[in-house]
């Protein structure tokens, strides 16, 4: 069987993504000679590529092995890790290594031992190990990891993920001993989400950080570590205080319910002495112990860090935070004249309302992300005050505002807020999410988006990304027409996301006006339109959209959602597929026709027009419905794509997938359960038989053509 390597050039080097090399020796030697004609830079593998006799001559600088459990078509065991270890040992120029085996419970210490042995003596500068969800990691395995880490003296960046591994203080001691020897480290990322860590675990981390005097970036996640207390926060603050070169700190204490305002104060005592800090991210979400005193203390350290450029604070679901709690902290943030990026999350803080001082923002900001989801007491006046603060920021590049579920924000409040967009002349990215807002107001009238139709759009001519979510906001055709007239002016748009779902009064008239607007956006690379449950749009509305698609010659990704719309016509679906066939730059296609029972499977034969799309990577067309047609079972190949990729329909889940036929055999969930009980050798034989059948089918298709 013939196999392929896909190669793509970059500006400085050439990246080679390795696939399976042929069994035929002359052809294999020819492919390897071609490889050596390039500068090997990066190779990305999955478990099907782990055959050392095929790849033994490849010596990359970057090696990535990715096999996450969320992919149902992958199966990884100790034998795969043994072969991966053999390949790592033979790599002399390796500078970056990434191994991702998250949630594979069938891997044991025996398989990992091969990886630990291969790491010894390597001169890698960056190492990423993702063991998330592996339950067997215990003291013995961690000691082996420690021994491997001690030998990586050239390491400058390390990322260890032990999420949901149920590690305790005892298991972390050997890891700390190994990290202590890596005195050249510049960056460390440690994910301990859901582990059984308490203040003693923080003490072990303190002993580790003492030796890492060159450390510049630190990311530590203690999400759901409910045993941490204020004592541990004090120890961590003292450890950070000694790291004079720190430029970035990212700490996550979400749902650590034993931490109080005193713990925040203890941590801040160390943070305020990190004079060179440029980026600070703190997450104290889902903690009802945090009140005004904790926020005031955070405001004080923000005020004292003179070089701070990026700030991210997450207080989601902290129910005791109110307007009064935030006033002093927001004033301290406003006084930071060099702050360029700000990310504030107050999702679910129901006591936040409309005080003007709460929305005071520094004029130096370039990127802003604000999340007020489910702040049910926030009203129009608060949204207007936010608009006043934004209007004073003259160099703003990116704005993201989420107000999902703020039911007291009315139609007039949204309209008044849009008026302040006039001054944002340098804005390149805009994301507004008002989903489920105005739910207690009367239906939106014609003037809601009038501001977006007029001067606001003229000023936002530099927009590159536009994200608008008006799900369930009771829009009408007139509103979409106003919005469409504004979109016509954004000719520089490269990415557009528009969610109009659950606006039942929208008809095909709205899609017609929207289609006329899309004609002017010839620079689009990403397009996502959501018409889920939009009443009477139907197939005629879809035809209006498909009619203009052929204009987007540079379009790379498209996602359309027509689920639960009016009856779909198979001829118009065929026209949509024809329009997609004219877009030669497409990489990703995702179309949703869920809950339409009147679409025959034969209409998918029109997907054969995608045969000449050499850049196409994934196709998903969803026809999910509650009752599957019993006469359609199994899979059927619809079209053959370049590099032996195929479009396959599986009527067990009633979806269309783009898969690589030489690696993945798409089966139903029932078949997968049966195969999981078979031996590994049986699986390999079945895969080989599947590949041979597919090869014969492809040869017959070529003869027919």
Spell out the domain ranges in the chain: 361-374+382-566
Of 77-81, 143-147, 218-222, the one with minimum mean pLDDT is: 77-81
Q: What is the DSSP letter of 249?
A: E
Q: Are strands 367-371 and 341-345 parallel, antiparallel or unpaired?
A: parallel
Q: Specify burial of residue 219 (Cβ count, 10 A radius: 0-12, 13-18, 19+).
A: middle
Kindly state the helix (H) or strand (E) to which residue 390 belongs, with its residue range.
helix 380-391
User: Using only C-alpha atoms, what is the Rg of the chain?
Assistant: 28
CB 363, CB 338: distance < 8 Å:
no
Give the residue with greater pLDDT, 392 vs 486. Answer: 392
Please tell me the predicted confidence (pLDDT) of residue 126: 96
CB 316, CB 284: distance < 8 Å:
no
Comparing CA positions, the residue from 209, 81, 69, 75 lying closest to residue 144 is 81
CB 686, CB 677: distance < 8 Å:
no
Q: Which of 20-34, 331-345, 438-452, 637-651 has maximum average pLDDT?
A: 331-345
Cα atoms found within 13 Å of the Cα of residue 114, Cβ hemisphere only: 17
What angle, 0 to 180 degrees and rounded to 10, lies between the N-to-C axes of helices 261-271 and 292-304?
10
Mean pLDDT of the chain: 77
Kindly state the helix (H) or strand (E) to which residue 294 belongs, with its residue range.
helix 292-304
Q: Are strands 398-402 and 6-9 parallel, antiparallel or unpaired?
A: unpaired
Where residue 692 falls among pLDDT bands split at 50, 70, 90?
very low
CB 223, CB 194: distance < 8 Å:
yes
Please tell me the predicted confidence (pLDDT) of residue 39: 35
Of 93-107, 141-155, 326-340, 649-663, the one with minimum mean pLDDT is: 649-663
Is 637 in a helix, a strand, or coil? strand
pLDDT at 677 over 50: no
Give the residue with greater pLDDT, 307 vs 475. Answer: 307
Where residue 702 falls among pLDDT bands split at 50, 70, 90?
very low
Is 414 in a helix, a strand, or coil? helix
Please tell me the predicted confidence (pLDDT) of residue 103: 81
pLDDT at 26 over 60: no
- DSSP string of 163-205, one letter each residue: TTS--BHHHHHHHHHHHHT-TT--EEEEE-TT-B--HHHHHHH
**Does the domain formed by 361-374+382-566 have CATH 3.80.10.10?**
yes
Q: Tokens in use for 107?
A: 């891997």
Per cent of the chain over pLDDT 70 is: 73
Q: Residues 471-483: pLDDT tens digits?
A: 887 788 888 888 8
Please tell me the predicted confidence (pLDDT) of residue 97: 93
The pLDDT of 141-166, averaged and rounded, is 91
Is 621 in a helix, a strand, or coil? strand
Torsion sign across C-alpha atoms 103, 107, 108, 110: negative
Cα atoms found within 13 Å of the Cα of residue 368, Cβ hemisphere only: 27
Comparing CA positions, the residue from 134, 133, 96 lying closest to residue 15 is 96
CA distances from 177 to 209, 563, 572, 597 (A): 11, 55, 65, 61
Please tell me the predicted confidence (pLDDT) of residue 438: 66
Q: Residues 624-661: pLDDT tens digits?
A: 554 344 343 334 344 444 443 444 443 333 333 433 33
pLDDT at 301 over 70: yes
Please tell me the predicted confidence (pLDDT) of residue 533: 85
CB 154, CB 178: distance < 8 Å:
no
Q: What are the backbone dihedrals phi and psi of residue 67, each rounded to the nearest 5 degrees, phi first? A: -150, 65
Give the residue with greater pLDDT, 207 vs 479. Answer: 207
Of 24-28, 337-341, 498-502, 628-632, the one with minimum mean pLDDT is: 24-28
The pLDDT of 184-198, averaged and rounded, is 94
Q: Rounded to a whole number, what is the largest CA-CA distance in the chain?
A: 77
Alpha helices in 508-656 (DSSP H): 508-518, 538-549, 570-581
In angstroms, how far is the first alpha carbon of the chain from the final one? 20
Q: Residues 583-613: pLDDT tens digits?
A: 989 888 888 877 665 666 667 667 777 766 7
Please tell me the predicted confidence (pLDDT) of residue 508: 84
Of 192-196, 286-290, 617-621, 653-657, the one with minimum mean pLDDT is: 653-657
CA–CA distance, 312 with 283 (Å, rounded to integer): 8
What angle, 0 to 180 degrees and rounded to 10, lies between the N-to-C axes of helices 323-334 and 292-304?
0
- List the beta strands (DSSP E) in 335-463: 341-345, 367-371, 398-402, 429-433
Please tell me the predicted confidence (pLDDT) of residue 456: 54
Cα atoms found within 13 Å of the Cα of residue 337, Cβ hemisphere only: 1
The pLDDT of 101-128, averaged and rounded, is 87
Where residue 569 falls among pLDDT bands split at 50, 70, 90?
confident
Give the residue with greater pLDDT, 432 vs 646. Answer: 432
Kindly state the helix (H) or strand (E) to which residue 221 belongs, with its residue range.
strand 217-221
What angle, 0 to 180 degrees and rounded to 10, lies between the N-to-C axes of helices 169-180 and 139-150?
10
CB 393, CB 359: distance < 8 Å:
no
Give the residue with greater pLDDT, 701 vs 329. Answer: 329
Please tell me the predicted confidence (pLDDT) of residue 346: 94
Look up the pTM and report it.
Answer: 0.80
Q: Tokens in use for 601?
A: 């499977």
pLDDT at 469 over 50: yes
Q: Residues 515-555: pLDDT tens digits?
A: 999 988 989 999 999 998 886 787 788 888 888 898 898 99
């Amino acid at each position: 069987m013939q196999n392929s390597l896909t190669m793509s050039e970059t500006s400085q080097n050439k990246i080679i993504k390795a696939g399976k090399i042929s069994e035929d020796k002359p052809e294999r030697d020819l492919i390897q000679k071609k490889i050596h004609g390039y500068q090997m830079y990066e190779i990305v593998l999955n478990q099907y590529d782990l055959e050392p006799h095929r790849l033994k001559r490849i010596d990359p600088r970057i090696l990535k092995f990715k096999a996450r459990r969320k992919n149902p078509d992958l199966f990884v065991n100790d034998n795969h890790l043994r072969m991966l270890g053999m390949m790592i040992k033979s790599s002399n120029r390796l500078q970056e290594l990434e191994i991702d085996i998250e949630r594979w419970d069938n891997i044991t210490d025996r398989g990992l031992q091969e990886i630990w042995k291969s790491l010894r003596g390597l001169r890698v500068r960056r190492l990423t190990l993702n063991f998330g969800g592996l339950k067997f990691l215990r003291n013995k395995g961690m000691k082996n990891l420690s021994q491997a880490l001690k030998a990586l003296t050239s390491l400058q960046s390390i990322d260890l993920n032990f999420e949901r591994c149920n590690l305790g203080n005892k298991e972390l001691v050997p890891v700390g001993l190994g990290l202590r020897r890596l005195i050249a480290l510049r960056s460390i990322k440690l994910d301990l989400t859901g582990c059984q860590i308490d203040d003693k675990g923080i003490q072990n981390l303190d002993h580790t950080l003492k030796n890492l005097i060159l450390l510049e970036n630190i990311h530590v996640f203690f999400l759901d570590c409910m045993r941490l207390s204020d004592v541990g926060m004090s120890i961590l603050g003292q450890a950070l205080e000694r790291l004079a070169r720190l430029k970035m700190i990212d700490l996550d204490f979400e749902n650590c319910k034993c931490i109080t305002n005193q713990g925040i104060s203890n941590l801040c005592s160390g943070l305020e002495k990190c004079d060179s800090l440029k980026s600070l991210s703190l997450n104290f979400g889902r903690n009802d112990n945090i009140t005004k005193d904790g926020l005031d203390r955070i405001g004080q350290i923000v005020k004292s860090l003179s070089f701070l450029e990026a700030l991210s604070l997450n207080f989601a679901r902290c129910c005791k935070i109110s307007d009064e709690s935030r006033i002093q902290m927001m004033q301290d943030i406003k006084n930071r004249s060099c702050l360029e990026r700000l990310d504030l999350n107050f999702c679910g803080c129901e006591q936040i309302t409309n005080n003007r001082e709460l929305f005071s923002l520094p004029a130096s900001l370039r990127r802003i992300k604000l999340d007020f989801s489910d702040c049910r007491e926030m009203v129009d006046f608060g949204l207007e005050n936010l608009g006043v603060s934004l209007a004073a920021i003259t160099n703003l590049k990116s704005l993201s505002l989420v107000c999902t579920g703020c039911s007291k924000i009315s139609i007039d409040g949204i309209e008044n807020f849009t008026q302040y967009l006039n001054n944002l002349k340098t804005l390149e990215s805009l994301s507004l999410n008002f989903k489920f807002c105005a739910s207690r107001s009367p239906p939106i009238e014609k003037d809601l988006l009038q501001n977006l139709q007029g001067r606001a759009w003229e000023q936002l001519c530099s927009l590159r990304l536009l994200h608008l979510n008006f799900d369930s906001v009771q829009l009408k055709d007139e509103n979409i027409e106003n919005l469409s007239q504004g979109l016509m002016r954004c000719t520089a748009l490269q990415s557009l996301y528009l969610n109009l779902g659950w606006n039942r009064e929208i008809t095909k008239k709205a899609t017609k006006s929207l289609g006329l607007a899309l004609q002017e956006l010839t620079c689009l690379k990403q397009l996502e339109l959501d018409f889920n449950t939009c009443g009477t749009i139907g197939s005629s509305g879809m035809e209006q959209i498909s009619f203009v698609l052929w204009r987007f010659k540079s379009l790379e990704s498209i996602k359309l959602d027509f689920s639960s719309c009016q009856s779909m016509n198979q001829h118009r679906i065929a026209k949509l597929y024809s329009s997609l066939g004219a877009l030669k730059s497409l990489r990703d296609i995702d179309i949703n026709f869920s809950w339409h029972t009147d679409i025959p499977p034969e209409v998918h034969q029109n997907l054969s027009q995608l045969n000449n799309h050499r850049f196409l990577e994934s196709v998903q067309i969803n026809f999910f419905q509650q009752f599957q047609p019993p006469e359609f079972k199994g899979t059927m190949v619809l079209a053959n794509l370049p590099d032996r990729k195929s479009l396959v329909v599986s009527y067990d889940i009633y979806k269309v997938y783009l898969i690589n036929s030489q690696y993945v055999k798409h089966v139903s969930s029932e078949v997968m359960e049966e195969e999981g009980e078979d031996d590994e050798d049986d699986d390999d034989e079945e895969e080989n038989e599947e590949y041979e059948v597919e090869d014969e089918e492809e040869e017959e298709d070529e003869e027919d053509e």
